[in-house]
Amino acid sequence: MSYQFITSAKLPTRYGEFDIHIFENEDGQEHVMLTVGLPVVDPDTATPSERPAPLIRIHSECLTGDAFSSLKCDCGPQLNSAMQAIQEAGCGAILYLRQEGRGIGLTNKIRAYALQDQGHDTLDANLMLGLPADARIYDMCGPMLAHIGVDAVRLITNNPNKIAYLTEHGINVVERVPLLVGVNDMNAEYLATKRDRMGHLLDKDFNTAIHLNK
C-alpha cells in the first residue's frame, strides 16, 4: 500500500511545539507524525545526515487511553512521556498510527474489553472474538521517516516487533529506549500478558513498578 504526505503545520502542546504532518494511504486513512528538530528533506537532493539518531516513538492510536485516560492500559502515559522526552531531547518524532485496538478497531476493542471484564486476558479476548492477537502493521513508518530524512533511530519501545520491522526495512535501530510508565493495579495483568505471552521487553523494573503500586 502506498502512502503520501498531505500537509503540515505547527502544533503547540503542553510539552512544547511540534510540527504535525499528515499522511494518507490509498484508502484515505490518515496517519500523523509529530516532529521536533527534524526538517523535511528533498529526497532528490538529500545527503546522509551527520546528526545523532533521533528519538522515535511508534504509537498506535488508543482512544480510550490517549483521550480518555483509561487505566486499563499504559498507552496514554506512554504517549505523554514520549512527547516530553522528545521535546527534552530537541530532536525526534512520534509516528501516530491510526490502528486502534492493536489494529482490530474501536468496536472490537470494546467487545474485547467486555470479555476482559469476565476474567480473560487481552490476548485470549481477541482470539475468542476470532481476531488476531495483534493486527497492527508498520508499513507506513518507512515513508514517514523518509519524509524527514531519518534512516537511524533511537526507538522508544518495549515491543520487539517494532524493532524487527524497522530493521528489516532498512532503518537502523541504534538503541532501544525502554518505556515503563502508567503502571497501576488496573493494568498489571494487561502488562504481564504483554511480557509473558507477547514477548514485550518488560523486565525486573516492571515487577518493581507493580510492587510500588500495590
Known binding residues for GTP: 57-61, 78, 100-102, 122, 157, 162
- Cβ contacts of residue 28 below 8 Å, gap of 6+? none
Q: Packing angle between helix 188-198 and helix 204-212, nearest 10 degrees?
A: 170
Q: Which residues are annotated as a binding site for Zn(2+)?
A: 62, 73, 75
14 is catalytic: no
134 is catalytic: yes
Catalytic pick from 121, 136, 154, 203?
136
Integer Cα distance of 17 and 12 in angstroms: 4
Q: Which residues are paired to 155 by β-bridges?
A: 56, 176
Q: Which residues of 57-79 are buried (b: 16+ CB within 10 A; e: fewer)?
A: bbbbbbebbbeeebbbbbbbbbb
Closest CA to 56 of 154, 137, 181: 154
Q: Which residues are annotated as a binding site?
A: 57-62, 73, 75, 78, 100-102, 122, 157, 162
Catalytic pick from 134, 154, 197, 203?
134
What would the grid cell of residue 177 be? 529506549
Is residue 184 within 8 Å of 207, Cβ to Cβ? no
Q: Which positions are catalytic?
A: 134, 136
